[in-house]
Structure 1
Amino acid sequence: MMSSPVLRIGTRRSKLALAQSGMMQRAIAAAMGLPVEAVELVEIVTTGDRVQDRRLLEIGGKALFTKEIEEALLDGRIDLAVHSMKDVPAEQPPGLTLAAIPEREDASDAFISTHYPSFADLPAGARLGTASLRRQAQALALRPDLKIEMLRGNVDTRLKRQADGDFEAILLATAGLNRLGLSEVIRERLSLDDFLPAPGQGALALQTREGETDADWVQALNHPLTALAVAAERGAMVALEGSCRTAVGAHARIDDGVLTLTTEMLAPDGSTRWRRSGTLVEAGSSGAEAAARILGERLGQEVHAAAGDQQVEV
């Protein structure tokens, strides 16, 4: 009987985080030829989990979902961390690195409603629940008549509030619902064009200490095409200072060796959106990830320049 774990994975305590980390736990154990019990999940409550009554921008931004886990990694209490990529700040803390990015799930946003089959079918003045400034701005760009109301909490809490009639509809990430086995609640997978996702949406990040990226599981779990797409999206995020204080979207797709990246910034009220697209050929070549990041930064800078000094923060 194994007396201590071989590897300790730090994870948030939410049902979704545990589902995602459990997937990685099983995959890592298989890659290392170990029983699942040898890879331990260490649950860590983050500030972002504790504070549920305000938008993240009011309490310090999305880094509040990663800070305590990263501290445990730096302190040696865990050996790696599993994050939702869209929660990972643009810059890594000194001493830490993103070792692997597994294959991405569906990157789209999901429309959920008891009474209405699609976003377009919402009546004038309908209450739409979301805590995302990006989703708010994109929804208002299409439907300025909607009433956007703040909705935080775990997935179950959000679904219950919608079912209880607090909102006519809510928006969530499709990937999280799929991973929780709740895809049946989705009435519509929203267009990736109208609702350009958050940078990295649908992808996971496996974070380790620097110098610990040569483990067998790193190569086994890293998905090069997902890593390439995410590099482009996060490049745009850096240029746009993407955070919970700005409405920023970025999505890259790869077809026949060509990466196409689209990125945008929106006014919070949806009145204006600034968008740019670009391509990277030979996306499978050596150095493609760095080139993708540069493409993202360039397009993000173009969007930023187009927006100029106009107000894009709340």
Structure 2
Amino acid sequence: MKQKLVIGTRGSKLALWQANHIAACLRDKYPGVEIELKNMVTTGDRILDVPLAKIGGKGLFTKELEVAMLSREIDLAVHSLKDMPTELPDGLVLAAVTDRVDPGDALISPAYKTLANLPQQARVGTSSLRRKAQLLNARPDLTIVDLRGNLDTRLKKLNTEKLDAIMLAVAGLRRLGWDEHITQIVPQNICLPAVGQGALAIEARAEDIETLAMLAFLNHEPTCQATLAERTFLAEVEGGCQIPIGVYGRVIEGLLSVNAVILSPDGKEVARDNIAGNPDAAAELGRTLAERMLANGGREILARLYEV
């Protein structure tokens, strides 16, 4: 067993909470092991004046951490699973996926409280093309305003940008103890979450057997199965944060059910479907659902999106 582990993390309040949470779990499990945090800045942290969908590429919030792992500066990295590309660099693996916090999306609107109560042409801030498309599908009249920055920055912009509402992940708000800001958890029939939303991912080197063994206790198998189906679905449709896709899997009473949606950016075109089956066949379920949805309208939606 190693006597020291170095955890790589981004420097935002939420990223530090997540890294410190994993560090605390490791210290409890291995009281004699030194746990050190190393803060790093990623591309996604540096570029804050451009919508995520226009930056392009994958791994905007993970690449620098992965380079540090491969160069052995750090032993592991803690990510929000939703930020992780479906394909990892050679030599790196998902060592654990933690038990999921609420995967939903929160509406924050002190004046109007709920999506239904927002006035016509209300200004809603979000940095997510997925949220934008699903909001416009439900409320075509809304004006969507791009909103970048860390959670605390985006909360401040609710006032400084004169927005009627903003949308953020429930999990991040809850982890930081900011539940009081949530005025509505948007129903999933209106807004399905991002792949892996609400779960933490622990990434490490594939050949680092000692570290992988030490991290194994952090893995929550039902969440791992559900998010494997989601990530396989995403890989099959070749989507990233720049494509409007929502997908959510969960294991209930031994059955894995997965709901998914593919949309055009304006929310006018939609393909929806669901599948259920054995959690041990999570990847196959995700793949089958993706193939079915692509064949039933999803491919045409994405083809037009790629043309833009």
Q: Structure 2 CA distance, aligned partners of 1:182 and 1:21?
A: 18
Q: CA RMSD in A?
A: 1.6
Mark the CA change 1:298 to 1:186 in structure 2 (over 3 Å): closer, same or farther. same
The runs of 5 or more residues in structure 2 that have no matched partner are: none
- 32, 55, 59: which one pairs with 1:63? 59
1:305, 1:245 → 2: CA distance? 21
Query: Structure 1 regions of 5+ residues with no counterpart?
Result: none
Q: How does 1:61-210 map to 2 (within 5 A)?
A: 61-164=57-160, 166-210=162-206
Tell me how far 1:117 sits from its aligned partner.
1.2
Query: Does structure 2 retain, via aligned residues, the 8 Å contact 1:5–1:40?
Result: no
Pairing of 1:263-278 with structure 2 (within 5 A): 263-278=260-275
Quote the residue 1:19 is aligned against: 17
Residues 294-305 of structure 1: pairs in structure 2 closer than 5 A: 294-305=284-295
Which amino acid in 1 is paired with 2:244?
A
Q: Which residue matches 2:305? A: 312
Partner SS state of residue 7, structure 1: strand
The offset of 1:193, in angstroms, is 2.1
Q: Equivalent of 1:32, from 30, 33, 57? A: 30
1:242 offset after TM fit, Å? 1.8
C-alpha distance in 2, partners of 1:190/1:58?
A: 26
Question: Using the alignment, how far apart are the partners of 1:66 and 1:259 within structure 2?
Answer: 28
Superposition deviation, residue 62 in structure 1: 4.4
Counterpart of 2:220 in structure 1 is 223
2:284 maps to a residue whose letter is I
- Report the Cα distance in structure 1 between the residues aligned to 2:150 and 2:143, rounded to whole angstroms: 22
> What is the CA distance between 1:218 and its match in structure 2?
2.0
> What amino acid does structure 1 have at the position aligned with 2:290?
G
TM-score (norm 2): 0.94
Kept after mapping to 2: 8 A contact 1:261/1:277: yes
Per the TM alignment, residue 55 of structure 1 is displaced from its structure 2 partner at its CA by 1.4
- Encode CA deviations 1:235-257: one digit per residue, 9 max, x unaligned: 11111112122101110121110
| Post-superposition offset of 1:309 | 2.9
Give the C-alpha shift of residue 301 in structure 1.
1.7
Relative to the length of structure 1, the TM-score reads: 0.92
CA distance in 1, matches of 2:63, 2:295: 31
Q: Which amino acid aligns with 2:295?
A: A
Kindly provide the amino acid, as one letter, of the partner of residue 282 in structure 2.
A
Match in the other structure for 1:249? 246
Q: Output one character per residue of 1:116-151: Cα deviation in whole Å (capped at 9) or x when no partner.
A: 110110000000100100000000000000000100
The answer to which of 59-68 and 259-268 deviates more is: 59-68
Q: Does 1:41 align with 2:37?
A: yes
CA distance in 1, matches of 2:194, 2:71: 30
| Identical aligned residues as a percent | 44
1:195, distance to aligned residue in structure 2 (A): 0.6
